[in-house]
Structure 1
Amino acid sequence: METRVADCPLGAKCEEVKTEDRKPILYRCPWYVQILGVDTNTGRESGAWGCAIAWLPTLMINTANESRKGVAATESFRNEMVKQGAQTQQVLRVAAQSANRKPDIKPLEQADVCE
């Protein structure tokens, strides 16, 4: 089966050269845009022209991927904060226990607390 690209649903041409006052003028549809980026497979910068409407699915997939990266970074940050919170609680427990000791008990040396 043969596949062909249909005409623009807006009835426009992406680019069209018209002659005005004997000069060629390039008319470009406002939806015809250049997308610049880095090819994830090769790592090289690339740029391609196309209809913004046609680019929407690709851009939506890219947005979803970037969102996933942001969620992963937030989760990693949260895990680090939980770890640090637990360490802080442990230090506070040791400090509270030291403050509640009877004066006849020798206080811990710094070398005893920090290994």
Structure 2
Amino acid sequence: MWFVKIQGADPQTGDKIDEYNCAMSWQPILMVENSGQLRGVAVSVQSLRNETIKRQDVALGLVANAKVIRN
């Protein structure tokens, strides 16, 4: 149960990994990988936020112009 096989790439060096080892010895590598994935998600969320704000500003501008034209 504590002896697991990991396949993939080392997040620090990029070297391919395909080996069995104790689950506890994989923990530092997996934590680094998890941190990298979380940074990627944070960047994506920030990008989505910025795009949403831009489009919301455009929509609010259109609504404001429509009110001016109607009055």
**TM-score normalised to the size of structure 2?**
0.85
The 2-side partners of 1:57 and 1:39 are apart by 11
**Structure 1 runs of 4+ with >4 Å offset:** none
Question: Where does structure 2 lack aligned partners over 5 or more consecutive residues?
Answer: none
Residue 63 of structure 2, aligned match among 92, 96, 102: 92
Larger Rg: 1
Q: How does 1:65-76 map to 2 (within 5 A)?
A: 65-76=36-47
CA positional deviation for 1:65: 0.8
**Partner residue in 1 for 2:48:** 77
Write the mapping of 1:1-115 to structure 2, written as runs, cut at 5 A. Answer: 30-38=1-9, 41=14, 46-100=17-71
Structure number having the greater helix percentage: 2
TM-score (norm 1): 0.55
* Alpha-carbon distance in structure 1 between the residues aligned to 2:52 and 2:17: 39
Once superposed, what is the RMSD of the aligned Cα atoms? 1.6
